[in-house]
């Protein structure tokens, strides 16, 4: 369904193009329908850059992103782009920065009707249904401004936006890292429900291998812009091959087993 | 506690400025003396008939002051509106589009910023010898926008990387819509405060320019009063009723505007409140 | 033996335009030498406020409304007066590494110069002695001595965090309080920083640590005891293993089972999820603060607040259900 080939992104900065950074270095991977794939990497690994390229927010320096057989960076019309975003959508990390503070929070839900046919009736009903699907009470959040809502509520509204669209692929960039550990489970369950109900594929981007392990069919480990290892969660955790992956696993705090080298 | 201090500042500055405005607007109605015709003897000291005396041509100084204040205020407002409008358009386009557009717009901003305004006005003085207040307002407005444009541009550049902009883009909103509907309203408090400061600067600019003869030549403004006073050697001759009032009103107007700007700043930016 | 620091029934509220936010509402905590006390809870439960109260770092809008903070069982910091606490206690007896401390270094000074100043001022050393002491401390803690000659921006985030930690412990304070010290760091750097804390204790540079975190897995790795807070109150206390293997308070149970780690057992048992939101601390619920979200709440829970009761062997719980059983 989605295929990323030889993707490279180079940021060049500085006055005379000195000091360029290779954020993504020849990445290759594919996502099948209904699959949940996790991109695991630390900050600076290039995972957010990858997300932006796939979401058509940042053009790649070279390489291709092909969705349903079409190169998304070859789109010419607004219509094609809107069509893409209707099927492939994003959820971001920061529940604070995701809302424009001067408008009401539900704007992020009503906005997506712009991607659908003009004649969509019952917008309010659809919005209410989406809110209920993410276990938010419409009375509690409709008409409110973002600063009046908690971080967890805001992230749920982002997921509600996806419920409205029912896209084929969601690219979620660290969707729970700014939510308290105890609130994460609730939001992760919403992703799983989306998958079960509508067959939505998810590219789940995170630095937390634990989340990746819990959520995904396949894990891709990113380091310095490259995908260094790929495999099923059990394999990656049980039998990691790449030294970077090994170190990552050794350094994660676990509940069942204590570190010996500390 | 600091709410009280803030309110005092806000109220005092607003009240002072409104007093000046009232003086300029309602004055001609309350004191209907013609500022340009000779109404009394020359250089008379203040009296009941002429509360601020007369100038070297026998014109009533108080009448001039009233009309002059109105003129200077309208020049200040007009120049500010023009400068802010240009700054918004340039700043938003430059910040949002980036690239070549950004480079060329900022280059032009730098030219305007660096160009000696006096030179421009001297040239203008040659081609447009009779300058009404509107002409001067235009000139000042067209040279006062770079600073604000730069500030708007940098705020836009940082805001456009925020997630809510990505979400708007993914909802299919066009760049123009995002720039003017999503981003600009977030800066309106800053723009408003800046427009107050620009107005103050414009009024001072007008006074300075008119005083040296390259500003207003048609009509009465605070600056032209100072021009004529200076031409008649008012300071050396001790003609205090003539040169002190225009300077005084100008000072009160500009100081109150700047105080208002700081009060607004604190109002919009609660983190700036003093402990 | 007296506890190193004992907070008895402390109350600290924030005054806001809408009323008093009861951030820490009758909390008792004790810290013994050798402890690494983990303080866990959702954001907004009062744990960061508690860290300030333990040091008596109280500034408006925070107000201290009652209770004692006893140092070594003798001095009550709550009545000591701010100036005295600042000069005699902070840095020397109790020290704090607040959140986002890795940005706390002055960017225009080299790290070594800054440390030298601190040492010269507090320990009255001359320049040479101070420099030698700084180097010695860095070596002790496994930090590269070259870091002393760098500016903060030349160091990585993890290194800066470790430098800040070494600075605040230069005077060998008895108690180190840290608030979410590793949330901005990646996993490997986090482990290095956690290792450093344990080293500080092992080398007797500090005697006890209070570690505030919302990530329970970290606490599992380094804490000896754990205190779990909810909505300004303590709900469960105990040795780390006992609380993890058999937590008694329903909230503590849910909290521990909501953590996602890459372990097969976690995946199998599934994640627990507590519905609802923590209460508004301006108007907390009557009775037990957790009762609106508690799956086991009894009628008494909505009427009476459960007191924190000791069950022996350093176990404490505040829950009517548990009290009924024992």
Pairwise CB contact (< 8 Å): B169 & A57: yes
Q: Clarify whether residues C290 and C234 are in a common domain.
A: yes
**Cβ-based contacts under 8 A for chains A and C:** 115
Q: Clarify whether residues C225 and C314 are in a common domain.
A: yes
Largest pairwise CA distance in chain A = 63
Q: What is the pLDDT of residues B194-233, one digit of tens each?
A: 999 999 999 999 999 898 888 888 888 999 999 998 888 8
Q: Is residue C98 part of a domain?
A: no
Domain of residue A140 covers 2-250
Q: Which residue has the tokens 């308070």?
A: C249
Read off the pLDDT of each residue in B38-51 and give the average, rounded to a whole number: 82
CA atoms within 13 A on the CB side of C181: 31
Pairwise CB contact (< 8 Å): B173 & A101: no
Residues 6+ apart with CB under 8 A from C326: C311
Q: Clarify whether residues C239 and C300 are in a common domain.
A: yes
pLDDT of residue B274: 45
- The 3-state DSSP class for residue B130 equals coil
| DSSP states of C279-313 | PPTTSPPSSSTTGGG-TT--GGGGTSPPP-EEEET
Which two three-digit tokens encode residue B173?
């909103």
Q: Is residue A257 part of a domain?
A: no
Q: Is the pLDDT at A225 greater than 90, yes or no?
A: no
Superfamily of domain B2-42+56-272: MetI-like (1.10.3720.10)
- Residues of chain A contacting residue B162, judged by C-beta atoms under 8 Å apart: 97
- Residues of chain C contacting residue A249, judged by C-beta atoms under 8 Å apart: 262
Q: Which of A77, A80, A86, A97 best tests the B interface by mutation, with the highest count of B CBs <10 A?
A: A97
- The 3-state DSSP class for residue C19 equals strand
Q: What is the pLDDT of residues B92-146, one digit of tens each?
A: 999 998 888 899 999 999 998 888 877 887 888 788 888 888 988 998 999 999 9
The bridge status of strand C208-213 relative to strand C36-40 is parallel
Q: What is the pLDDT of residues C273-313, one digit of tens each?
A: 777 778 888 888 888 999 998 988 888 898 989 999 898 88
CATH code where residue A214 lies: 3.40.50.300
CA atoms within 13 A on the CB side of C43: 11
Q: Clarify whether residues C188 and C108 are in a common domain.
A: no
Alpha carbon separation from A151 to A99, A253, C301 (Å, rounded): 11, 25, 28
Share of chain B above pLDDT 70, in %: 96
Last residue of a domain, one of C141, C170, C199: C170
The closest CB to that of B164, out of A82, A99, A112, belongs to: A99
C281 interfacial to chain A (CB closer than 8 Å): no
pLDDT of residue A121: 75
Share of chain B above pLDDT 90, in %: 43
SS3 content of chain B, % helix, strand, coil (to 5): 75, 0, 25
The DSSP secondary-structure symbol of B208 reads H
pLDDT of residue A221: 93
Pairwise CB contact (< 8 Å): C271 & A237: no
Last residue of a domain, one of C170, C202, C227: C170
Minimum mean pLDDT among A205-209, C27-31, C259-263, C271-275: which range? C271-275
Handedness of CA B107, B109, B114, B120 (dihedral sign): positive
Pairwise CB contact (< 8 Å): B166 & A114: no
Read off the pLDDT of each residue in C58-72 and give the average, rounded to a whole number: 91
Q: What is the pLDDT of residues B138-168, one digit of tens each?
A: 989 999 999 999 999 999 999 988 999 999 9
Q: Is residue A262 part of a domain?
A: no
Q: Are B131 and B216 in contact (CB under 8 A)?
A: yes
- Residues of chain B contacting residue A92, judged by C-beta atoms under 8 Å apart: 163, 166-167
pLDDT of residue C240: 93
pLDDT of residue B203: 94
- Residues of chain B contacting residue A175, judged by C-beta atoms under 8 Å apart: none
Calpha distance A30→B221 (Å, rounded): 73
Sequence spans of domains, chain B:
2-42+56-272
Calpha distance B20→B18 (Å, rounded): 5
Pairwise CB contact (< 8 Å): A208 & C273: no
Pairwise CB contact (< 8 Å): A97 & B164: yes
Residue of A241, A128, B153, A254 lying closest to C220 (CA atoms): A254
Containing C213, the helix (H) or strand (E) segment is: strand C208-213
Q: Are C157 and C185 in contact (CB under 8 A)?
A: yes
The confidence band for A95, taking pLDDT boundaries of 50, 70 and 90, is confident
- Rounded to a whole number of angstroms, the distance from the CA of A111 to the nearest CA of chain C is 27
The DSSP secondary-structure symbol of B60 reads B
- Rounded to a whole number of angstroms, the distance from the CA of A235 to the nearest CA of chain B is 34
Last residue of a domain, one of C170, C194, C225: C170
Residue of A nearest to B184 (CA): A102
The three-point CA angle B143-B148-B151 to 5° equals: 145
Calpha distance C103→C157 (Å, rounded): 9
The confidence band for C326, taking pLDDT boundaries of 50, 70 and 90, is low
Which two three-digit tokens encode residue C76?
């009550």
Calpha distance A75→A72 (Å, rounded): 6
Q: Over chain B, what is the mean pLDDT? A: 88
pLDDT of residue C51: 92
- Domain count across chain A: 1
Q: Clarify whether residues C117 and C148 are in a common domain.
A: yes
| Chain B contacts in chain A segment 173-232 (CB below 8 A) | none
- Rounded to a whole number of angstroms, the distance from the CA of C132 to the nearest CA of chain A is 27
pLDDT of residue C124: 86
What's the whole-model pTM score?
0.82
A105 interfacial to chain B (CB closer than 8 Å): no
Q: Is residue A182 part of a domain?
A: yes
The confidence band for B42, taking pLDDT boundaries of 50, 70 and 90, is confident
The closest CB to that of A189, out of C221, C267, C273, belongs to: C273
Which two three-digit tokens encode residue C241?
């293993």
Neighbouring chains of C at 3+ CB pairs within 8 Å? A
Neighbouring chains of A at 3+ CB pairs within 8 Å? B, C
The three-point CA angle A88-A90-A94 to 5° equals: 180
Read off the pLDDT of each residue in B22-32 and give the average, rounded to a whole number: 87
pLDDT of residue B275: 40
Pairwise CB contact (< 8 Å): A85 & B185: no
ipTM field: 0.89
Calpha distance A22→A12 (Å, rounded): 8
| Chain A contacts in chain B segment 133-172 (CB below 8 A) | 162-164, 166-172
- Rounded to a whole number of angstroms, the distance from the CA of C34 to the nearest CA of chain A is 16
Pairwise CB contact (< 8 Å): C191 & A258: no
Minimum mean pLDDT among A100-109, B10-19, B266-275, C267-276: which range? B266-275
- Rounded to a whole number of angstroms, the distance from the CA of A102 to the nearest CA of chain B is 7
The closest CB to that of A210, out of C195, C262, C277, belongs to: C262
Q: Clarify whether residues C57 and C145 are in a common domain.
A: no
- Residues of chain C contacting residue A189, judged by C-beta atoms under 8 Å apart: 271, 273
Q: What is the pLDDT of residues C97-124, one digit of tens each?
A: 877 777 788 888 899 988 888 888 888 8
A89 interfacial to chain B (CB closer than 8 Å): yes
Q: Is residue A10 part of a domain?
A: yes
Calpha distance B93→C164 (Å, rounded): 43
Cross-sheet strand order for the sheet of A36-40: A88-91, A169-173, A201-206, A36-40, A218-223, A226-231
Q: What is the pLDDT of residues B232-252, one digit of tens each?
A: 888 888 888 888 999 999 999
Q: Over chain C, what is the mean pLDDT? A: 89
Q: Is residue C180 part of a domain?
A: yes
B191 interfacial to chain A (CB closer than 8 Å): no
Q: Clarify whether residues C236 and C298 are in a common domain.
A: yes
Pairwise CB contact (< 8 Å): B170 & A94: no
The closest CB to that of A255, out of C191, C217, C275, belongs to: C217
Calpha distance B158→B91 (Å, rounded): 13
Domain of residue C140 covers 103-170
pLDDT of residue A16: 56
Pairwise CB contact (< 8 Å): A182 & C254: yes
Q: Is the pLDDT at B1 greater than 80, yes or no?
A: no
Count other Cβ atoms within 10 Å, centred on residue B130: 8
The confidence band for B60, taking pLDDT boundaries of 50, 70 and 90, is confident
Residue of A nearest to B162 (CA): A97
Share of chain A above pLDDT 70, in %: 96
Q: Is residue A258 part of a domain?
A: no
- Domain count across chain C: 2
């Amino acid at each position: 369904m989605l295929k990323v080939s030889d993707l490279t992104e180079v940021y060049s900065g500085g006055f005379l193009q000195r000091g360029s950074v290779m954020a993504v270095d020849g990445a290759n991977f594919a996502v099948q329908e209904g699959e949940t794939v996790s991109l695991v990497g630390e900050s600076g690994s290039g995972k957010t850059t990858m997300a932006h390229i796939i979401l058509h927010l940042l053009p790649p320096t070279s390489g291709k992103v092909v969705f349903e057989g079409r190169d998304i960076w070859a789109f010419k019309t607004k219509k094609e782009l809107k069509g893409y975003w209707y099927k492939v959508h994003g959820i971001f990390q920061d529940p604070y920065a995701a809302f424009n503070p001067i408008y009401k929070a539900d704007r992020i839900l009503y906005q997506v009707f712009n991607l659908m046919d003009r004649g969509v009736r019952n917008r309010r009903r659809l919005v209410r249904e989406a809110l209920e699907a993410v276990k938010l009470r419409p009375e509690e959040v409709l008409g409110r401004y973002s600063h009046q809502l908690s971080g967890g509520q805001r992230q749920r509204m982002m997921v509600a936006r996806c419920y409205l669209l029912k896209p084929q692929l969601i690219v979620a960039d660290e969707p729970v890292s700014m939510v308290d550990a105890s609130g994460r489970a609730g939001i992760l369950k919403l992703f799983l429900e989306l998958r079960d109900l509508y067959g939505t594929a998810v590219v789940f981007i995170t630095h937390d291998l634990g989340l990746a392990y819990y959520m995904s069919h396949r894990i891709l480990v990113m380091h310095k812009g490259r995908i260094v290892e790929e495999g099923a969660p059990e394999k990656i955790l049980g039998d990691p091959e790449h030294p970077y992956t090994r170190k990552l696993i050794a350094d994660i705090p676990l509940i069942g087993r204590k570190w010996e080298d500390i | 506690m600091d709410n009280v201090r803030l309110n005092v500042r806000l109220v005092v500055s607003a009240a002072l400025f409104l007093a000046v405005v009232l003086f300029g607007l309602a004055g001609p109605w309350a004191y209907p003396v013609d500022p340009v015709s000779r109404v009394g003897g020359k250089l008379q000291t203040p009296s009941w008939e002429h509360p601020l005396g007369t100038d070297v041509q026998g014109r009533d100084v108080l009448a001039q002051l009233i009309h002059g204040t109105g003129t200077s205020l309208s020049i200040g407002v007009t120049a500010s509106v023009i400068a802010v409008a240009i700054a918004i358009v340039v700043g938003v386009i430059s910040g949002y589009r980036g690239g070549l557009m950004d480079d060329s717009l900022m280059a032009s901003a730098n030219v305007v910023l660096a160009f000696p305004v006096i030179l421009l006005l001297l040239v203008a003085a040659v081609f447009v010898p009779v300058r009404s207040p509107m002409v001067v307002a235009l000139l000042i407005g067209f040279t006062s926008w770079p600073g604000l444009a730069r500030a708007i541009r940098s705020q836009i550049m940082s805001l456009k990387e925020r997630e809510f902009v990505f979400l708007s883009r993914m909802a299919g909103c066009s760049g123009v819509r995002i720039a003017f509907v999503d981003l600009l309203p977030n800066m309106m408090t800053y723009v408003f405060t800046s427009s107050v400061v620009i107005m103050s600067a414009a009024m001072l600019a007008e006074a300075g320019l008119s005083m040296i003869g390259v500003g207003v030549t048609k009509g009465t403004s605070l600056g032209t009063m100072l021009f004529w006073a200076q031409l008649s050697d008012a300071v050396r001759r001790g003609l205090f009723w003539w040169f002190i009032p225009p300077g005084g009103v100008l000072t009160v107007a500009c100081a109150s505007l700047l105080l208002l700007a700081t009060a607004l700043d604190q109002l919009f930016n609660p983190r700036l409140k003093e402990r | 033996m007296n506890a190193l620091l004992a907070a008895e029934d402390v109350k600290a509220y924030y005054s806001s335009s809408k009323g008093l936010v009861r951030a820490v509402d009758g909390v008792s905590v004790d810290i013994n030498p050798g402890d690494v006390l983990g303080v866990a809870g959702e954001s907004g439960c009062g744990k960061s406020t508690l860290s300030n109260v333990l040091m008596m770092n109280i500034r408006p809008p925070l107000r201290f409304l009652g209770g004692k903070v006893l140092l070594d069982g003798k001095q009550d910091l709550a009545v000591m007066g701010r100036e005295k606490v600042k000069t005699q206690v902070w840095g020397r007896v109790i020290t704090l590494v607040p959140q986002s401390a890795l940005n706390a270094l002055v960017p225009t000074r080299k790290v070594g110069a800054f440390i030298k100043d601190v040492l010269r001022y507090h320990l009255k050393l001359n320049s040479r002695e101070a420099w030698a002491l700084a180097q010695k401390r860095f070596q002790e803690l496994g930090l590269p001595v070259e870091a002393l000659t760098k500016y903060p921006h030349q160091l990585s985030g993890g290194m800066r965090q470790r430098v800040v930690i070494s600075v605040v412990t230069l005077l060998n304070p008895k108690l180190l309080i840290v608030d979410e010290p590793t949330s901005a760091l990646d996993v490997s750097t986090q482990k290095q920083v956690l290792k450093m804390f344990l080293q500080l204790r092992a080398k007797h540079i500090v005697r006890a640590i209070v570690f505030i975190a919302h990530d329970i897995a970290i606490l599992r790795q380094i804490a000896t005891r754990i205190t779990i807070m909810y909505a300004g109150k303590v709900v469960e206390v105990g040795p780390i293993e006992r609380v993890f293997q058999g937590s008694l308070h329903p909230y503590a149970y849910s909290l521990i089972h909501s953590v996602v780690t890459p372990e097969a057992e976690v995946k199998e048992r599934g994640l627990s999820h507590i519905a609802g939101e923590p209460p508004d601390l301006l108007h907390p619920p009557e009775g037990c603060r957790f009762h609106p979200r508690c799956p086991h709440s009894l009628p008494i829970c909505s009427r009476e607040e459960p007191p924190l009761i000791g069950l022996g062997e350093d176990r404490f719980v505040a829950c009517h259900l548990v009290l009924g059983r024992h």
